[in-house]
Amino acid sequence: MGNMVLKNINKIYPNGVQAVFDFNLEIKDKEFVVFVGPSGCGKSTTLRMIAGLETITSGEFFIDGELMNQVEPVNRNVAMVFQNYALYPHMTVYNNMKFALKLRKVPKPIYTNQDEIASIIEDDKEIRKQIKAIETKFKKNQNDDSLLESRNELYKKLYANEEKKTSILVQQVGIDEYTINELRTTIKKREKVVASNQHIIDKYGSNYPEECHNLIEENNNSLKQIEDFKKRIEFLEKNEVPLCKVRHLTKEEMDLEINKVADSIDLTRYLFRKPAALSGGQRQRVALGRAIVRRPKVFLMDEPLSNLDAKLRVQTRSEIIKIHKQVGATTVYVTHDQTEAMTMADRIVVMKDGYIQQIGAPKELFSDPANKFVASFIGSPAMNFISGTYSKGVFTAIKSNDENNPLGIESFTYKVSKELNKALQDYEGKNIFLGFRPEDIYVAGDVNNHNPSNSFEVKCDYVELLGYDLVLYFYILGHKIVAKVGEKENIQTNDKAKLCLDNDKVYFFDADTEKRIK
């Protein structure tokens, strides 16, 4: 399971800068959630707080109901994929993936049938001897596909043996008294430190020296940690967990895990190469494989595609989606590219200046934006906006504040539909924004526009042909407007074109709050 809950999360740095404000989100098991927003919006900071690489100033973070605030990153059962791959250049792909498993601990198995286990272990040894002989030949000739096929067939036998072992495995569960006692011991130690610090502070009274500020801050942090530890004890006392001794993975177990993952993401051929001998896309797959092999509850990805070229980004994007479906782990993905967010996410979290602007499915954010920022950020090209006033059912455009833009059309009015008139009745005589997407502008008379209205004539300053689309650039009272029409339209740069909007696909926004009016 990988359910996550973030409650009222805030992040304030020592210099007083607040990066994240009151962040609230619940992420379901196996969900693919994307944090998207411009640079400095707090998306990477939030991801790092989930990973445990940044401390949470206030608020609570849970994984499967267990409070994670004071849990060390290594114990959170999360895996992170970084922007720059973070591969060890002196290690082969195999050893890069193996390194992620060296610290992993697993329950020491208890089997019901020792004779059967002994027989399986002997069989495994014989199979591994054959694999080793094949790998020695393959390292000398990595283009021999027949060796790879033979190796894969032998590994299938190892996987089958592993399933047999699992079928006779005994699992013991109960209350984890050991961890509870460890936490209680830690609490007592922290309480002694707090009492000692408080004794020093009390000696000075209200006129304590500058050095005491550090003790006060240390006490505040310790008290917060004690409170978090108590909540964790409360969780462990109420929930049964697997009870058994733990140990590190054996060399054979690591080898099996690595080959399973390598086979699933098409890396088997490259296991014995070093990162320098791989393409950018292959390196990114190695970074993903290193995360997958740990079998974490949660995958965290911090702009993993930003170093790839455009074609490779599209290819790797589809591979990440495919891997997510295969592995089924909860995934949190950070990007500033709204195209990645729209194509990959089950849900998108749009952020700006540390605040959540809107949470929803890609289609919901595109067709039903909560405010002007979301409307402008989601969609490519971005939504067009014209500032103006509303009066008696008519929107009248006003001149843009951008003096650098040409004026274009000198007047523009839009007759508002009856449905939107009801929503705008409180804005009589007030300034508002009219918004419409480039795809929702049509050439007058176009049969695709089922609700034509309010036609207007423009002079096209620039025209781009992009395959099936013809993109027009023009100005309305200094507001830059982009329109996407069919490539069959015969419109050239500096031509005049008569256009119209679809009444069903226009939006209005409050000029002060920038919230959607609906």
pLDDT digits (tens, 9 = 90+) for 91-105: 999 999 999 888 777
Asked whether residue 428 falls in the same domain as residue 444, the answer is yes
Q: How far is the CA of 372 from the CAs of 234, 421, 436, in angstroms?
A: 44, 19, 11
Average the pLDDT over each of 72-76, 103-107, 310-314 and give the range with the smallest value.
Answer: 103-107
Report d(CA 65, CA 63) in Å as an integer.
5
- Identify the domain boundary among 223, 242, 261: 242
Return the CATH number at 434.
Answer: 2.40.50.140
- Is 315 inside a domain boundary? yes
Asked whether residue 509 falls in the same domain as residue 385, the answer is yes
Return the CATH number at 233.
Answer: 1.10.287
Average the pLDDT over each of 211-220, 385-394, 478-487 and give the range with the smallest value.
Answer: 211-220
- For tokens 């240390």, name the residue: 218
Asked whether residue 309 falls in the same domain as residue 396, the answer is no
Q: How far is the CA of 325 from the CAs of 24, 183, 441, in angstroms?
A: 26, 37, 37
DSSP label at residue 515:
B
Asked whether residue 134 falls in the same domain as residue 231, the answer is no
Return the CATH number at 343.
Answer: 3.40.50.300
- Per the structure block, which two tokens stand in for 23? 């962040």
- Per the structure block, which two tokens stand in for 487? 């490539």
Strand locations in 109-250 (E): 110-111, 169-170, 173-174, 241-242, 246-248
Q: What is the model's pLDDT at position 374?
A: 97
Residue 397 CB partners (closer than 8 Å, separation 6+): 386, 387, 388, 411, 412, 413, 414, 434, 476, 477, 479
Q: Report which residue type is found at 510.
A: D
Task: Please state the domain count of the chain.
Answer: 4
Question: How many degrees, rounded to 5, is the angle at CA 405 between CA 400 and CA 411?
Answer: 50
- Is 281 inside a domain boundary? no
Q: What is the model's pLDDT at position 13?
A: 92
Asked whether residue 391 falls in the same domain as residue 513, the answer is yes
Q: Is the pLDDT of residue 113 over 80?
A: no
- Is 42 inside a domain boundary? yes
- Is 148 inside a domain boundary? yes
- Identify the domain boundary among 199, 214, 242: 242
The answer for 16, left when phi > 0, alpha when psi is -120 to 50, beta otherwise, is left
Q: Is the pLDDT of residue 447 over 60?
A: no
pTM (predicted TM-score): 0.78
Asked whether residue 60 falls in the same domain as residue 166, the answer is no
Asked whether residue 222 falls in the same domain as residue 185, the answer is yes
Q: What is the model's pLDDT at position 243?
A: 67
Q: What is the mean pLDDT of residues 376-383?
A: 92
Asked whether residue 166 falls in the same domain as residue 181, the answer is no
Asked whether residue 422 falls in the same domain as residue 493, the answer is yes
- Is 228 inside a domain boundary? yes
Q: What is the model's pLDDT at position 477?
A: 94
Q: What is the model's pLDDT at position 494?
A: 92
- Identify the domain boundary among 170, 198, 222: 170
Asked whether residue 127 falls in the same domain as residue 219, the answer is no
- Is 270 inside a domain boundary? no
Mean pLDDT for the chain?
A: 88
- Is 9 inside a domain boundary? yes
How does residue 253 score in pLDDT terms, banded at 50, 70 and 90?
Answer: confident
Q: Which residue has better confidence, 306 or 360?
A: 360
Asked whether residue 140 falls in the same domain as residue 186, the answer is no
Asked whether residue 509 falls in the same domain as residue 432, the answer is yes
Boundaries of domain holding 470: 381-517
- Is 97 inside a domain boundary? no
Q: What is the pLDDT of residues 319-364, one digit of tens each?
A: 888 888 888 889 999 999 999 999 999 999 999 999 999 999 999 9
